[in-house]
Structures are given as structure tokens and as C-alpha cells.
């Protein structure tokens, strides 16, 4: 490759594109399927029930405490598959690069994708690169699509919540949103808060091994815990009653949210999940979660009610309030 920045020829489909693929993408992501350089990746079907999921990533800034757009793009799609009960296996990645973007930054991002995909046990088997003129993009956008296989007998879904079931959360909320905002605004918090960006498929596998009939799994990403719970309540035709005191929250995140006027319930996470299961399985599920490094701080945070569509919370002071969806936009480009 000539030069140290992306130029329009890198998106032309000619020699410069081929060089970029060979010298940068394949170096970090290489595997026999990707290296075949076909128009698509040929894979052996891993089972009967498959899951496909896609997510665009436009986070700003590209590098933030605890991660970057590369690890986020891998983990985000791995987690969407895991929330369906699937074992994530294959990813594709589409890059939209802005002319002038430093190749060193792209190299760092793609290296991070390689590390994240190895950590999650998935392979990036197909990719695509396009380039847009300076001022028509913003550094790099990455759209990842994942394919996973759902083991027999496993079928969590957003419609599965039933009154009386227990609501569990795998750990502290708001870490990702506060970490990104602190970097974006150059805020200087006393404690450095890291994004929780992580692949949850290992945690989910441990949970399903303990309690195969988990009814609902959902990762509270953009929109935060409140959006995830409202989606579940709406789709399942149930209500959810939360206990604020039980919701894990780092003191530093609580302080930052207070300072910035954010509600931690609306603040994004990238390595947390909500699980809903029959009440008599909640203790076993909680134990399985707490035994996994990514579920150490897991807690039972509430229960499912019959008040369709209502997500309510008993506050730490004993009051009650509705937990509504975010109306406007709390933090744009958080993922």
C-alpha cells in the first residue's frame, strides 16, 4: 500500500482494494474461508435452527476506554446471536471508510476485531470495503452480520415473559454509556470508567446449561435497561416490577450520571444482559451467572407482573415510578 491514509482507490475494487484486503484485513482476520477471496463464504451448515443478526456500528469516538469500534462490532453482533440462545459461529464485516482515514488507526481497529473474534470463538468469513469522500463519512463505520446455531430445546424470545417470572441482570448498568461520553466530552472523572464491551456467549452458554428454559434474554444496549424491559413488556404483553436497590450500579457511574443529568436506566451497556426465567429457577440461574466472570455482580432485580406494558420501579427511597422508554436521544452514536 502506498501512503498512510485511505484514499478513494481503496474502494475502487481494483488493485488498491486487493492490496488493502491482503495486507491489512487478511493479516488480522485471516482464516481459510476468508482467504479463499470468493464473492461469498462457503460454510457447512452447523445445525437445523440458525440465527442471523446484523448491526451497524457508528460509535464516536472510535477508540474509548475499554474498547473501540472493532471490538464493539464483533461483540455487539455476537451478543445479538447469544440473546437468541444461539452459539455464534460466523461473522461478516462491511467497512465504510472515509477518505483520509489513517491506515494505522484502521490497522488498530481490525487487529482489535481479530482479537475480539478469537476471544468470542467466532470467525470473520466474509467482508467488504467501500470508501466515501472526506466529509461524507466519519472515519469508519462497520456493519457486522452474524450466523449462529440454536441448540435443540433452547428457545428464548422477547415474547416469552409470563407473570410471576423473575427478572435477572448480569451486572452493573451504564458503564459503556458513561465511558464513551467521558471520552467524547473530554470529561475528567476521578475514577476511570471502562466500557463493559464484551462477548456474552460464554455467559449465556453457562446460564443455559444451568437453566435450559430461560424465557427471555436481551442485552440492554442503546436505550439502556429501560428500553430492553419495555420491549419485553410490550412483546410479551406483561408488566415488569423492578426494585431499584437491587440494580447493580458502580458508584463512579452513579456519580457521573448525577453530574451529567443522565438516568442510568437509559444509559447504554455493551456487555450486560437481562434474563427472565420461572421463579423457581431464579436461584439456580443467579448462581450460574455469578459463577461466570461476566456475571459476577448478577442480581435478581424484579419480577414479571400481569399489568400489560407497564414497567414500574420501587425506588431506593420506597416510592414508585414508571420506567418509560427514552423519548428523545440520550447519547447519539453510542454503538
Among positions 67-126, residues that touch its own copies (CB under 8 A) are: 79-81, 83-84, 86, 90, 92-96, 125-126
Q: Which residue from 227, 238, 256, 289 is in contact with its own copies, where contact means CB under 8 A?
A: 227
**Contact call for residue 281 and its own copies (CB under 8 A):** no
For residue 15, the tally of other CB atoms under 10 A from its CB is 9
- 3-state class (DSSP) for residue 124: strand
Cβ neighbours for 7, distance < 8 A, ≥ 6 positions apart? 16, 99, 100, 131
Phi (first) and psi of residue 177, to 5 degrees: -60, -45
Least Å distance, CB 151 to its own copies, is 13
Count residues near its own copies (CB under 8 A).
86
Least Å distance, CB 122 to its own copies, is 12
- Residue 150 or 257: the one with the smaller Cβ distance to its own copies is 150
- Residue 58 or 167: the one with the smaller Cβ distance to its own copies is 58
Q: Which residue from 51, 74, 120, 294 is in contact with its own copies, where contact means CB under 8 A?
A: 51
- Residue 219 or 252: the one with the smaller Cβ distance to its own copies is 219
Give, as ranges, the residues between 2 and 31 that touch its own copies (CB under 8 A): 7-9, 11-18
**Contact call for residue 130 and its own copies (CB under 8 A):** yes
Paired residues of 320 in beta bridges: 314
Least Å distance, CB 131 to its own copies, is 7
**Contact call for residue 61 and its own copies (CB under 8 A):** no
- Residue 83 or 252: the one with the smaller Cβ distance to its own copies is 83
Least Å distance, CB 17 to its own copies, is 8
**Contact call for residue 158 and its own copies (CB under 8 A):** yes
**Contact call for residue 44 and its own copies (CB under 8 A):** yes
Residue 305's nearest CA partner among 244, 248, 243, 237 is: 237
- State the Cα angle at 157 between 236 and 280, rounded to 5°: 80
The tally of CA atoms less than 13 A away on the side-chain side of residue 330 is: 26
Answer for the pair 199, 115: CB distance below 8 angstroms, yes or no. Answer: no
**Contact call for residue 164 and its own copies (CB under 8 A):** no
Residues 314-331 as b/e (b if ≥16 CB within 10 A, e otherwise) read: beeeeeeeebeebeeebb
Residue 245's nearest CA partner among 141, 317, 325 is: 317
Q: What burial class does residue 48 get, using C-beta atoms within 10 Å of its C-beta: 0-12 exposed, 13-18 middle, 19+ buried?
A: exposed
Please state, in angstroms and rounded to a whole number, the distance separating the CA atoms of residues 197 and 178. 12
Q: Which residue from 5, 111, 143, 314 is in contact with its own copies, where contact means CB under 8 A?
A: 143
**Contact call for residue 54 and its own copies (CB under 8 A):** yes
Angle between helices 201-210 and 69-83 (to 10 degrees): 20
- Residue 17 or 243: the one with the smaller Cβ distance to its own copies is 17
Give, as ranges, the residues between 228 and 257 that touch its own copies (CB under 8 A): 231, 235
DSSP code, position 8: G
- Residue 225 or 249: the one with the smaller Cβ distance to its own copies is 225
| Contact mark string toward its own copies, 187..226, x via CB under 8 A | -------------------------------xx-xxx---
The size of the chain, in residues, is: 335
Amino acid at each position: 500500500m502506498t501512503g498512510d491514509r485511505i484514499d478513494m482507490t481503496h474502494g475502487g475494487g481494483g488493485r488498491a482494494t486487493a492490496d488493502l484486503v491482503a495486507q491489512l484485513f487478511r493479516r488480522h482476520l485471516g482464516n481459510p474461508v476468508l482467504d479463499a477471496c470468493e464473492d461469498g463464504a462457503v460454510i457447512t451448515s452447523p445445525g437445523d435452527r440458525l440465527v442471523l443478526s446484523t448491526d451497524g456500528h457508528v460509535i464516536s469516538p472510535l477508540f474509548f476506554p475499554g474498547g473501540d469500534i472493532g471490538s464493539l462490532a464483533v461483540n455487539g453482533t455476537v451478543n445479538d446471536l447469544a440473546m437468541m440462545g444461539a452459539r455464534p459461529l460466523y461473522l461478516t464485516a462491511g467497512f465504510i471508510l472515509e477518505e483520509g482515514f489513517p491506515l494505522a488507526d484502521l490497522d488498530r481497529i481490525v487487529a482489535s476485531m481479530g482479537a475480539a473474534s478469537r476471544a468470542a470463538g467466532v470467525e470473520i468469513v466474509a467482508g467488504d470495503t467501500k470508501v466515501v469522500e472526506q466529509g461524507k463519512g466519519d472515519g469508519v463505520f462497520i456493519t457486522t452480520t452474524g450466523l449462529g446455531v440454536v441448540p435443540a430445546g433452547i428457545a428464548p424470545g422477547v415474547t416469552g415473559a409470563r407473570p410471576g417470572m423473575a427478572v435477572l441482570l448480569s451486572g452493573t448498568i451504564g458503564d459503556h454509556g458513561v465511558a464513551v461520553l467521558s471520552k467524547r466530552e473530554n470529561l475528567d472523572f476521578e475514577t476511570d470508567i471502562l466500557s463493559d464491551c464484551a462477548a456474552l456467549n460464554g455467559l449465556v452458554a453457562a446460564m443455559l446449561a444451568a437453566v435450559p428454559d430461560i424465557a427471555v434474554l436481551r442485552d440492554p444496549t442503546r436505550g439502556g435497561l429501560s428500553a430492553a424491559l419495555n420491549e419485553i413488556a410490550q412483546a410479551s404483553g406483561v408488566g415488569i416490577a423492578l426494585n431499584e436497590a437491587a440494580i447493580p450500579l458502580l458508584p463512579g457511574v452513579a456519580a457521573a450520571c448525577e453530574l451529567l443529568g443522565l438516568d442510568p436506566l437509559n444509559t447504554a451497556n455493551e456487555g450486560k444482559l437481562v434474563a427472565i426465567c420461572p421463579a423457581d429457577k431464579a436461584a439456580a440461574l443467579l448462581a450460574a451467572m455469578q459463577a461466570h466472570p461476566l456475571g459476577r455482580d448478577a442480581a435478581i432485580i424484579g419480577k414479571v407482573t400481569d399489568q400489560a406494558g407497564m414497567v414500574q420501579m420501587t425506588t431506593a427511597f420506597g416510592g414508585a415510578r414508571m420506567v418509560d422508554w427514552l423519548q428523545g436521544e440520550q447519547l447519539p452514536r453510542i454503538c
